Amino acid sequence: MSPNNSALPATTTDFNEQTQIKIQSSALVGLIILLIAFGSLRLLWPGDVPFIDDEPRLLEMALQANETGESLPYGLKGTRNIRYGPFPVWIYRIMLMLTHDLVIIVILRVLLVTAITSISIVWLSMTCRYLWPLAGAAALLSPYLWFYSRSLWDNSFCIPLTALAFAAYLAFCRRKQWWTLAITFLCLTLLFLTHLMTLAVVVPILFHFLFFHRSWWKARWWIVLLFAGGGILLAWPYLVYLSNASPSGSPPGLGIKSWSFSLLGGRLFSMYGLDYFLGTSWANSPQMPAFVNVMVQILGRFTGIAIIFTWLGVLGSAVVVVTSLKNKDKRDIRFHACLISLAAICCQAILNVLSATQGQPHYYNGTWIHLFFFFWFAVSFAASRTWVKTLFGVYAVAMAAILIFLPIKLHLSAGNRIIRYGPTLANQIKVAKKLNQYHPKSVVETEVENVEKAPHAINFLQELYANASPSSGPQLRLLIRYARPERNNGMIELVELE
């Protein structure tokens, strides 16, 4: 026997297993590298985020709560006079204790949201070995997730929380460890304390746990009681508020068109529908060469294949669930992931119809991880075919190219004149600081639609960046106007009127 034989695998099977482990490890490292690279794009020009209506209201609530020491049981008010949960206020209270510089707060928020989302993607890849790891990085190529990770809003905190809840719960389904269930319960509680639309995620996971893990929780009922009790205790002030709240206005009725809205969730992983934020001419930038704009238009249309992949993932998941329901031996982690995701999307569709919700992409934020799971599942299933890998590679390059184009475009134009984006935060801070140099009784007029419809944004920035002592500057008539003649340029300025 050769002296080196002991260092060799005993069998061909052992060799194959070791090779497979090395391949998986290298793919996991590649996923982490890609997530870091794509996530870093979110840090480009952090001052270029929008600052419109809800953002200043939310931050003002947090600032006042810090000053008074009051513990708010709720957050922003929704469209039907029902306030959402206080979790986003808690986060901004902490950040405002660290700094009052909103650009730094944007950076802190990006790091927090991106880190949790990335950890969740890696965790899912480690738990669901049938998913192609490298394809998971496409989550951070989403222009919608890029936008919401930077926005100083409340709804978008659903993105990291729902991803972590899904990853932690699937990890529990696989190994039945108490700490993964603890993370799941915590995330579900915080989701409820962020936005009520996340009930589409909370309810399916809770029902799945009660039904498929009966023997586990019956044997460890005290652990479940502890977690559930902790969640109820944390949410109790908000539950009390909800019990006394009454919605205003008439019920919205059934929004039949909301069915089609529910079917288009795959748009999150494409450039489809970006005119919602950026206008119909978002793919054109006067400051860039014409060929760049043409390429962006072509590549933007091509990324629509993400919607097709998502639909295929839904069909594939349905096949897995139906097959596994007939055969208990096939109820592996793939079955549980598919079942939970299908249930979440169905619940979201029902909520959309009942509330007549459609058109606005932030309504996908609660269930985005399940939509991405369908996309990821379909790509992974077909990844053994070379042409599919090539197609996905072209898609990823197209998404990355446009995700680099967007922040450059927004920076060069200082935002835009679309009411849902408008002048950038950094630009508004500059105007607010200049306003503070004039007498407080100066008359301020505006030609800027965002400032006209939401004047409290500039007012809040004036308060936040106020000088230590009141300004003794001149009392004049002032005008906030657009600084550039181009219709797609959002830069504003403050000028004196005679």
Same domain, 59 and 163: yes
| Alpha-carbon span 78 to 123, nearest angstrom | 33
- Which tokens hold the place of 177? 């460890």
Backbone angles phi, psi at 473, to 5 degrees: -70, 175
- Which ranges in 141-287 belong to alpha helices (H)? 143-150, 158-175, 178-192, 199-212, 214-219, 221-244, 258-263, 275-278
- Residue 8 pLDDT exceeds 50: no
Same domain, 363 and 241: yes
**Partners of 482 in beta bridges:** 492
Name every residue whose Cβ is closer than 8 Å to that of residue 38 and which is 6 or more positions away in sequence.
137, 140, 141, 400, 403
pLDDT at 119: 97
Q: Is residue 12 part of a domain?
A: no
Same domain, 202 and 283: yes
| Alpha-carbon span 192 to 197, nearest angstrom | 8
Same domain, 433 and 299: no
Q: Is residue 384 part of a domain?
A: yes
| Alpha-carbon span 140 to 63, nearest angstrom | 31
- Residue 253 pLDDT exceeds 70: no
What is the pLDDT confidence band of residue 325, given thresholds at 50, 70 and 90?
confident
Q: Is residue 470 part of a domain?
A: yes
Same domain, 346 and 205: yes
- Residue 232 pLDDT exceeds 50: yes
What is the pLDDT confidence band of residue 18, given thresholds at 50, 70 and 90?
low
Cβ–Cβ < 8 Å for 337, 128: yes
- Considering its fold, how many domains does the chain have in total? 2
pLDDT at 7: 42
Domain boundary among 412, 440, 463: 412
Cβ–Cβ < 8 Å for 321, 335: yes
Same domain, 398 and 444: no
Domain boundary among 366, 381, 412: 412
- Average pLDDT for 371-377: 97
Cβ–Cβ < 8 Å for 119, 325: no
pLDDT at 249: 62
Domain that holds residue 456: 425-497
Cα dist. 14→17, 18, 158, 161, 455 in Å? 5, 6, 43, 39, 68
pLDDT at 382: 87
Q: Is residue 492 part of a domain?
A: yes
Higher pLDDT, residue 381 or 355: 381
Q: Which 3-state string (H, E, C) describes the chain?
A: CCCCHHHCCCCHHHHHHHHHHHHHHHHHHHHHHHHHHHHHHHHCCHHHCECCCHHHHHHHHHHHHHHHCCCCCCCCECCCCCECCCHHHHHHHHHHHHCCCHHHHHHHHHHHHHHHHHHHHHHHHHHCCCCCHHHHHHHHHCHHHHHHHHCCCCHHHHHHHHHHHHHHHHHHHHHCCHHHHHHHHHHHHHHHCCCHHHHHHHHHHHHHHHHHCHHHHHHCHHHHHHHHHHHHHHHHHHHHHHHHCCCCCCCCCCCCCHHHHHHCHHHHHCCCCCHHHHCCCCCCCCCCCHHHHHHHHHHHHHCCHHHHHHHHHHHHHHHHHHHHHHCHHHCCHHHHHHHHHHHHHHHHHHHHHHCCCCCCHHHHCCCHHHHHHHHHHHHHHHCCCHHHHHHHHHHHHHHHHHHHHHHHHHHHCCECCCCCCCEEHHHHHHHHHHHCCCCCCCEEEECCHHHHHCCHHHHHHHHHCCCCCCCCCCCCEEEEEECCCCCCCCCEEEEEEC
- Average pLDDT for 53-71: 93
Lowest mean pLDDT among 4-18, 223-237, 421-435: 4-18
What is the pLDDT confidence band of residue 330, given thresholds at 50, 70 and 90?
confident
pLDDT at 21: 55
pLDDT at 292: 84
pLDDT at 5: 43
Cβ–Cβ < 8 Å for 416, 278: yes
Lowest mean pLDDT among 164-168, 221-225, 256-260, 273-277: 256-260
pLDDT at 358: 75
pLDDT at 140: 97
Mean pLDDT over each residue of the chain, to the nearest integer: 89
Same domain, 387 and 280: yes
- Residue 336 pLDDT exceeds 60: yes
Same domain, 429 and 402: no
Higher pLDDT, residue 20 or 183: 183
Cβ–Cβ < 8 Å for 490, 421: yes
Same domain, 289 and 395: yes
Most confidently predicted of 143-157, 375-389, 457-471, 483-497? 143-157
Q: Is residue 5 part of a domain?
A: no
- Residue 290 pLDDT exceeds 70: yes
Same domain, 395 and 441: no
pLDDT at 289: 82
- Residue 20 pLDDT exceeds 70: no
Cβ–Cβ < 8 Å for 493, 480: yes
pLDDT at 255: 63
- Average pLDDT for 471-496: 89
Summarised one tens digit per residue, pLDDT across range 414-468 is: 999 998 899 999 999 999 999 999 988 889 999 999 999 999 999 999 999 988 7
Lowest mean pLDDT among 2-6, 133-137, 174-178, 388-392: 2-6
pLDDT at 353: 83
Domain boundary among 357, 380, 412: 412
Same domain, 109 and 192: yes
Higher pLDDT, residue 386 or 168: 168
Q: Is residue 14 part of a domain?
A: no
| Alpha-carbon span 363 to 347, nearest angstrom | 13
- Residue 15 pLDDT exceeds 50: no
- Average pLDDT for 262-269: 89
Same domain, 380 and 237: yes
Q: Is residue 316 part of a domain?
A: yes
The model scores a pTM over 0.85:
yes
Q: Is residue 294 part of a domain?
A: yes
- Residue 470 pLDDT exceeds 80: no
